Amino acid sequence: MQITDIKCYVLEHIAPEPNFRWRAGLPGAGDGTPPGEPTYSSIIKVETDEGIVGMSDGRGYATADLVRRRLKKYIGLDPLNTEKLWHEIWELDRLEEFQVHQLGMLDVACWDIKSRKANMPLYKMLGGYDAKIPAYASTVTWDTMDEYERHIKESRDIGFTSFKLHAWGDAKEDAKLSRNLRKWVGDDADLMFDGSAGWDYTTSLWFGRVLEEVNFLWYEEPMREFDLVSYAELCRSLDIPVLAAETCDGCHWNAATWIQYRALDMMRVSVGFKGGVTGAIKVAHLAESFGMRAQVHGGGIPNLHLCAAIPNNDYYEQLVIDTEQIAGLEASGPLSIVDGYITAPDEPGLQSHPDWNEIEKRAVLIV
């Protein structure tokens, strides 16, 4: 099989009002484009001489520029050789310093082709562990304690038994919220807290001890992921497992450094942040070789297949936003949450493809 073309379609949208936010200091949904103004997404399409097409999502004009300057050179190569293509992109990263999601764009499209060629779901191609995965309700940041209580209980009522907080970034108020969460859902629920890298070491240490008091399962990214010495000291000082290395560059090489420094107890992994499917599976197996869990970050079909492929992940992460969205989770197509579980699709490919003729018509730029 050979790649015959690599195309990028840039699509224009009108930016909506953000429908959620994160902690103080972090923007919420969207890319920061003011509501009502145009914003841009992109789709990469990889065509082959056998008529099998792969795709992945990109980020507007920057993706088109990358396809034009760099990715066209891979026309003529075999898309099934995902390991070789991944290392080709990694070599380019030395010059480009790719934005982290760009590193895996071609890889995702080639695994899409590979899965379709084999007529197998991706998770089975990656080894296959368990297609049915428990999901946890991962909150956005709401304004009041009452909103947290209402939406947590709505999530519980449709079957969730595990919950993760994205809170306000005020350690004392977040501590009250964490204690309340344990009261709302009982002693048997698995609970997690995501600090979204908002604190220094001293605050992180104090707050970690609060989470230990109420028996949380993990403590996620309390500090920015540059100071490995502080992370190592935090792990040494706390009993609650520290989950980290979510956004750092360097794929499995950087993940290995975190392990060497004993700077985490659980590894974060995802298709988007770890160089596509190839990079993510390298990180997951690296963690496993050290007896460490690799908790998959974020939702979507590629990450769902990753969850189903590896033995050392506990949950699928499902964002919960508002009453209407929570009520609709049981009827969300291949990403439906039923009785607190999600099931990886058995169809080949990573996602449904659009009508390419319509994409051609809609695109404001085609490379």
Rounded to an integer, the average pLDDT of 69-97 is 96
pLDDT: which is higher, 25 or 182: 182
Rounded to an integer, the average pLDDT of 58-70 is 94
pLDDT category of residue 99 using cuts at 50, 70 and 90: confident
pLDDT of residue 126: 97
- 228-237 and 251-260 helices cross at what angle (nearest 10)? 50
Looking at domain 3-119+351-366, does it have CATH number 3.40.50.300?
no
Where do you find CATH 3.20.20.120 in the chain? 124-343
Residues 275-288 have pLDDT tens digits of 999 999 999 999 99
Single pTM value for the model? 0.96
pLDDT of residue 321: 97
CB 293 within 8 A of CB 313: yes
What string of DSSP letters covers 329-350? GGG-GGG--BTTEEE---SSSS
Question: Is the pLDDT at 214 greater than 90, yes or no?
Answer: yes
Q: Spell out where the chain has E strands.
A: 3-14, 38-48, 54-58, 132-139, 162-166, 190-194, 218-220, 242-244, 266-269, 294-296, 316-320, 341-343, 365-366
As a whole number, the mean pLDDT across the chain is 96
The arrangement of strands across the sheet holding 3-14 comes to 54-58, 38-48, 3-14, 365-366
**Cα 158 to Cα 331: distance, rounded to the nearest angstrom:** 12
- 276-289 and 105-118 helices cross at what angle (nearest 10)? 90
Rounded to an integer, the average pLDDT of 205-225 is 98
Other beta carbons within 10 Å of 254: 15
Residues 31-44 have pLDDT tens digits of 899 999 999 999 99
**Cα 194 to Cα 222: distance, rounded to the nearest angstrom:** 7
Where do you find CATH 3.30.390.10 in the chain? 3-119+351-366
Rounded to an integer, the average pLDDT of 309-328 is 98
Q: Which two tokens stand for residue 103?
A: 């590193």
CB 303 within 8 A of CB 296: yes
pLDDT category of residue 291 using cuts at 50, 70 and 90: very high
Q: Which two tokens stand for residue 364?
A: 């404001």
Q: Which two tokens stand for residue 30?
A: 């969207």
Please identify which residue in the block is written with the tokens 């009041």: 144
pLDDT category of residue 351 using cuts at 50, 70 and 90: confident
pLDDT category of residue 100 using cuts at 50, 70 and 90: confident
Rounded to an integer, the average pLDDT of 100-116 is 96
**Cα 32 to Cα 13: distance, rounded to the nearest angstrom:** 13
Question: Is the pLDDT at 25 greater than 90, yes or no?
Answer: no
Looking at domain 124-343, does it have CATH number 3.20.20.120?
yes
pLDDT of residue 30: 86
